[in-house]
C-alpha cells in the first residue's frame, strides 16, 4: 500500500478558469488513480487539520516572515487578490495553503513510521515561495517546511530535497541553502522562469547542486545527469529522508516549458530515488497538461509499489 495524502479542500484554492494551476489538475490525477490497475494498493489519507498540527505554525514562522504570512491571511480574508500577476489568493487560499503544509508534514510522519514512500497530492505548490514573498503560483514553501519538520524528529540528522520540476525552485533553495543539514538538488530548464538556478551556486555548505538543462532536452540528457550527478550528490550527503518536489511540467506536452520528457521517464527518476532510500516524501509541484500530469504521477506511484 502507498499512502496518498489528499483532501477535496485543496480544490478550494481558486485561481480562475484560465489559470494553469487550477483545481482540475488534482481532479484529473484523482480520477486517474481511482481507475488505475493498482487502485486497491493506494491508501487515501486525509491531511491533519492545520490547527491540530501543533508544530505547523512555529515552522511556518521559522520559514516565512510574519509580515508575509499576515499578508496572505489578510488578502484571503478581504475577498482575495494577487501576490503577483501569476499568483492569486482567493478567500480560502490561506486555509488551503496551511492544509497543504500539514499534508506534507503528515507525509513526513508516515514515511518515517513505515520506512516507505508516501505521495502528497496537494495544492497550492510551494517551491517558488521565498521567505517573504510568494510567486510562481506558490504561497508557502512546502518542501522546505517539511525538511525543517523532519529535522525535529528523532534520528533525523540530514534531509535532502530533490526538485525535478521543470522550473528551478528558487524559494526552496533560498530558504535551505544556508542550512548544513539540508541538501538541495534541482534539474530545471534554463533559460526559463524564474531565471535562477545557476550551476555555479553550491550553497554555503556545498549543499546545493543545480543542473540546468537547455530547452529541447529529453531523457537522453536527463538520464546521465541522474546517474552521474544527482545520485552521487545525494548518496554523498547521506540523508535520513529524501523529499522530492515532484513537478511534472518537464513533459513534452506541458504548456509552460520546452522539455521533451515522457510520462514513463518518471519511472526511471523514481527508480533512481528508490535505489538511494525508500524513505521518500513525494510532493506535487507543477504539471499543467492534465493527461501527462496524471500519467506521470501514476508512473511514480506504480514504481513505488514494486
What are the cell numbers at 212? 540546468
211 and 225 Cβ atoms separated by less than 8 Å = yes
199 and 212 Cβ atoms separated by less than 8 Å = yes
What residues form DSSP beta bridges with 210? 186
Catalytic annotation on 128?
A: yes
Name the helix (H) or strand (E) containing 210.
strand 208-213
H-assigned helices in the chain: 24-34, 56-63, 66-77, 93-114, 142-151, 170-176, 219-225, 231-237, 265-276, 290-304
Closest CA to 4 of 48, 49, 44: 44
- 194 cis-preceded (ω within 30 degrees of 0): yes
Closest CA to 226 of 185, 261, 264, 256: 185
Distance CA 53, CA 236 (A): 33
90 and 80 Cβ atoms separated by less than 8 Å = yes
What are the cell numbers at 47? 491531511
User: Which residues, in sequence order, are CB contacts of 118 under 8 Å at separation 6+?
Assistant: 2, 3, 4, 5, 45, 107, 110, 111, 280, 281, 282
Catalytic residue, candidates 13, 64, 127, 128? 128
DSSP string, 211-239: EEE-TT--HHHHHHHIIIIIHHHHHHHT-
What are the cell numbers at 173? 533553495
User: Which residues, in sequence order, are CB contacts of 22 under 8 Å at separation 6+?
Assistant: 15, 16
- Catalytic residues, by residue number, are 128
Amino acid at each position: 500500500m502507498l499512502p496518498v495524502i489528499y483532501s477535496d479542500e485543496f480544490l478550494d484554492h481558486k485561481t480562475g478558469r484560465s489559470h494553469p494551476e487550477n483545481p482540475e489538475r488534482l481532479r484529473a490525477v484523482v480520477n486517474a488513480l481511482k481507475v488505475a490497475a493498482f487502485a486497491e494498493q493506494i491508501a487515501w489519507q486525509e491531511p491533519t487539520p492545520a490547527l491540530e498540527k501543533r508544530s505547523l505554525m512555529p515552522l511556518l514562522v521559522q520559514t516565512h516572515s510574519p509580515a508575509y504570512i499576515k499578508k496572505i491571511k489578510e488578502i484571503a480574508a478581504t475577498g482575495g487578490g494577487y501576490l503577483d500577476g501569476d499568483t492569486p489568493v482567493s478567500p480560502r487560499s490561506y486555509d488551503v495553503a496551511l492544509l497543504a503544509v500539514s499534508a506534507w508534514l503528515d507525509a513526513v510522519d508516515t514515511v518515517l513510521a513505515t520506512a516507505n514512500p508516501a505521495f502528497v497530492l496537494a495544492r497550492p505548490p510551494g517551491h517558488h515561495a521565498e521567505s517573504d514573498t510568494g510567486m510562481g503560483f506558490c504561497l508557502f514553501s512546502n518542501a522546505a517546511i517539511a525538511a525543517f519538520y523532519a529535522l525535529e524528529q528523532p534520528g533525523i540528522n540530514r534531509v535532502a530535497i530533490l526538485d525535478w520540476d521543470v522550473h528551478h525552485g528558487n524559494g526552496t533553495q533560498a530558504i535551505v541553502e544556508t542550512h548544513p543539514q539540508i541538501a538541495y538538488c534541482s534539474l530545471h530548464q534554463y533559460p526559463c522562469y524564474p531565471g535562477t538556478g545557476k550551476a555555479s551556486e553550491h550553497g554555503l555548505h556545498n549543499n546545493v547542486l543545480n543542473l540546468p538543462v537547455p530547452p529541447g532536452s529529453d531523457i537522453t540528457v536527463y538520464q546521465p545527469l541522474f546517474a552521474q550527478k544527482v545520485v552521487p550528490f545525494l548518496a554523498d550527503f547521506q540523508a535520513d529522508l529524501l523529499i522530492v518536489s515532484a513537478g511534472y511540467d518537464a513533459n513534452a506536452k506541458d504548456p509552460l516549458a520546452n522539455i521533451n520528457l515522457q510520462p514513463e521517464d518518471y519511472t526511471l527518476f523514481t527508480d533512481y530515488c528508490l535505489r538511494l532510500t525508500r524513505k521518500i516524501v513525494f510532493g506535487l509541484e507543477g504539471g499543467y497538461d492534465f493527461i501527462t500530469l496524471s500519467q506521470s504521477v501514476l508512473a511514480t506511484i506504480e514504481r513505488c509499489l514494486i
